[in-house]
């Protein structure tokens, strides 16, 4: 076990080594080297957030699984979330392995206990059941373990988060799993989700190919509803389709809105028996190259419905807080609204500013930041007295959802009307203007930056020219009630 000293209850031995895949490290490494070399993967352009991989014995499924792993191999991956079904236990919720190591012939894989804790804190139905991971006597669970040697081979220093989702399928739980992962991962760009599923089972080859083609098309179309309905109608047959649906929701929330089947095969490729086959597919869920990710932001755009929901939260919070002194509680399940993002809430009374407060960097789910900033804009802006109930009818709400700031080397990189700007010197002198300030005032860039320094940061007006003063830019998705 090397430097690891976990107690036995935190260690998961390799139960399938020597049967489902070689138990000898040299033999196993050579096998995977061969399969990885043979996997010809297309260039997808942008980052891969999710791969779908089969989980049968390696002689059958590893040639296909290697396509997804190879496609993601050029990325920085510090943690692989293994999202898998249970083959032997029916239970509600999900079993998450919280800490420790999983053994493989290629060496141990450490569990990302911090990420596990964040996921488990999201819902009380996320628990740890060792039996779910172990399987039953004489029939070890394969859905997680078959992924481990591949992870160790391709991402040797990565940690893992094994998560087995209960059965029978539950649409609410699938949404909860997606939301929990999106919230727990947050702004991290070094997390890869590996969905461990096979395709159809035990049909003649041509029938299996037709069934699998329907399911794979729904995935490539990112049609979660059609994918779910296709299984309810028994027209599709992915073994563990509910975890694929969860991963599709997660991918959509994280901006990985495209999907491509990298390889499809069946057990007949290894055995020659076409009378009764199992299907295997390797799929990547990815995003286009981030040409539009101006300030390092990689999240998907908010839909009109999501914007409307955030405005509703801000308006209800404003009205309730001003009248009662208490903010309402919300429990959103839309994965996009659970991502950590900075946001400002601006209040305008008959067109004049009445309050504006925000967080540049997200400190919790977006919907909660909007709620909290609505309270702050109404009561904590030092430029204004707190909003009174008789003013509410005259106040309009505007929300600015911010991208992650990036440092610029000079003011030449700043585009007025497009970029919000943060100016800072040390810990005490910092200030920010949203992008719309330039549009609303009509200031030149020089005036904009000078006012930012003097009004917001407490610095001399021309401090933005000082090389020791840090300038950062961000973009904002601005929307309001008018």
Whole-prediction pTM value? 0.69
Question: What percent of the chain clears pLDDT 70, i.e. is strictly above it?
Answer: 96
Of the two residues 145 and 300, the one the predictor is more confident about is: 145
1: pLDDT strictly greater than 70? no
pLDDT band at 10 (very low <50, low <70, confident <90, very high): confident
C-alpha angle 382/473/78, rounded to 5°?
110
Q: Where are the alpha helices (DSSP H) in 221-300?
A: 224-232, 241-254, 268-271
Q: What are the tens digits of pLDDT across the range 136-175?
A: 877 999 999 999 999 999 999 999 999 999 988 888 899 9
pLDDT in tens, 459-475: 999 999 999 999 999 99
Predicted confidence at residue 289, as pLDDT, reads 65
- Alpha-carbon distance of 23 to 329, in angstroms, equals 52
pLDDT, tens digit, for every residue of 433-443? 999 999 889 99
Please determine, for residue 2, whether its predicted confidence score (pLDDT) is greater than 50: no
Least-confidence region, from 47-51, 281-285, 299-303, 452-456: 299-303
State the Cα–Cα distance between residues 246 and 283, nearest whole angstrom. Answer: 15
Give the per-residue pLDDT at 299.
60
Confidence of residue 42 (pLDDT cuts 50, 70, 90): confident
Task: Check pLDDT > 90 for residue 369.
Answer: yes
Instruction: Output the pLDDT for position 300.
Output: 67
At 102 the three-state DSSP class reads strand
The pLDDT value given to residue 6? 44
| Concatenated DSSP letters of 312-333 | HHHHHHHHHHHHHS-PPP----
Evaluate if residue 105 carries a pLDDT over 90.
Answer: yes
Average pLDDT over residues 398-422: 92
- Virtual torsion, Cα 150, 153, 157, 160, nearest 10 deg: 10
Question: Strand pairing partners for 343?
Answer: 359, 401
Cis (ω within 30 of 0) for the bond into 408? no
Cis amide linkage into residue 378, ω under 30° from 0? no
Max CA separation in the chain (angstroms): 80
Lowest mean pLDDT among 49-53, 137-141, 306-310, 326-330: 137-141
Examine the pLDDT at 92 and tell me if it is beyond 80. Answer: yes
Q: What whole-number distance in Å separates Cα of residue 305 and Cα of residue 104? A: 46
10 touches 1 (CB < 8 A) = no
User: Tokens 């601006």, residue?
Assistant: 346
pLDDT beyond 80 at 291: no
Domains detected in the chain: 8-286 (3.40.830.10), 304-480 (3.30.700.20)
pLDDT value of position 293: 42
Is there a contact between 359 and 343 (Cβ–Cβ < 8 Å)?
A: yes
User: Where are the extended beta strands (E) located within 54-142?
Assistant: 79-85, 94-96, 101-102, 109-110, 126-127, 135-136, 139-140
**Which one is predicted more confidently, 340 or 403?**
403
pLDDT at 296 exceeding the cut of 70: no
Mean pLDDT of 7-20: 86
Q: What is the pLDDT of residues 382-396, one digit of tens each?
A: 999 999 999 999 999
The pLDDT of 279-294, averaged and rounded, is 77
pLDDT tens, residue by residue, 185-223: 987 899 999 999 999 999 999 999 999 999 999 999 999
**What is the model's pLDDT at position 237?**
94
Residue 371: the pLDDT is 97
- When mean pLDDT is compared across 8-17, 47-56, 255-264, 345-354, the lowest value belongs to 8-17
SS3 of residue 463 by DSSP: helix
Predicted confidence (pLDDT) at residue 307 exceeds the cutoff of 90: yes
């Amino acid at each position: 076990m090397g430097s690891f000293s976990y107690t036995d209850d935190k260690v998961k031995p390799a139960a399938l080594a020597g049967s489902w895949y070689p138990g000898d490290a040299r033999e196993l490494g050579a096998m995977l080297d061969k399969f990885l070399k043979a996997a010809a993967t297309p260039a997808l352009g942008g980052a891969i957030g999710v791969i779908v991989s089969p989980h049968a014995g390696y002689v059958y499924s590893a040639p296909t699984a290697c396509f997804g792993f190879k496609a993601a191999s050029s990325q920085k991956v510090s943690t692989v979330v293994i999202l898998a079904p249970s083959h032997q236990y029916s239970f509600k919720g999900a079993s998450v392995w919280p800490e420790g190591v999983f053994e493989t012939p290629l060496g141990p894989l450490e569990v990302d206990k911090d990420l596990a804790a964040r996921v488990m804190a999201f819902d009380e139905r996320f628990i740890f059941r060792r039996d779910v991971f172990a399987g039953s006597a004489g029939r070890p669970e394969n859905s997680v373990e078959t992924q481990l040697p591949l992870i160790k081979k391709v991402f040797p220093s990565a940690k893992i988060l094994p998560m087995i989702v209960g059965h029978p399928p539950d649409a609410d739980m699938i949404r909860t799993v997606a939301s929990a992962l999106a919230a727990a991962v947050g702004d991290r760009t070094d997390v890869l989700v590996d969905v461990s599923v096979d395709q159809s089972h035990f049909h003649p080859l041509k029938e299996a190919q037709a069934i699998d083609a329907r399911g794979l098309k729904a995935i490539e179309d990112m049609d979660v509803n059609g994918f779910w309905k296709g299984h309810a109608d028994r027209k599709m047959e992915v073994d563990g389709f509910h975890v694929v649906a969860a991963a599709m929701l997660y991918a959509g929330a994280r901006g990985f809105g495209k999907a491509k089947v990298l390889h499809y095969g069946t057990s007949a490729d290894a055995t020659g028996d076409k009378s009764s086959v199992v299907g295997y597919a390797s799929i990547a869920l990815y995003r286009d190259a981030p040409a539009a990710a101006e300030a390092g932001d990689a999240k998907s755009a908010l839909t009109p419905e999501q914007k409307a929901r955030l405005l509703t939260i801000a308006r209800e919070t404003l009205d309730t807080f001003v009248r009662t002194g208490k903010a309402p509680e919300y429990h959103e399940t839309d994965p996009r609204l659970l991502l950590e993002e900075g946001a400002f809430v601006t209040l305008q009374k008959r067109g004049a500013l009445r309050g504006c407060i925000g967080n540049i960097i997200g400190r919790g789910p977006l919907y909660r930041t909007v709620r909290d900033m609505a309270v702050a804009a109404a009561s904590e802006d030092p430029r204004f007295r707190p909003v009174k109930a008789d003013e509410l009818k005259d106040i309009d709400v505007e929300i600015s959802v911010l991208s992650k700031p990036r440092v610029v080397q000079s003011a030449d990189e700043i585009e007025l009307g497009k970029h919000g700007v943060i100016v800072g010197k040390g810990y005490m002198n910092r200030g920010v203007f949203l992008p719309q300030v330039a549009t609303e005032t009509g200031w030149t860039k020089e005036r904009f930056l000078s006012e930012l320094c003097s009004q917001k940061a407490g610095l001399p007006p021309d401090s933005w020219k000082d090389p020791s003063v840090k300038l950062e830019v961000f973009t904002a998705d601005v929307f309001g009630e008018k």
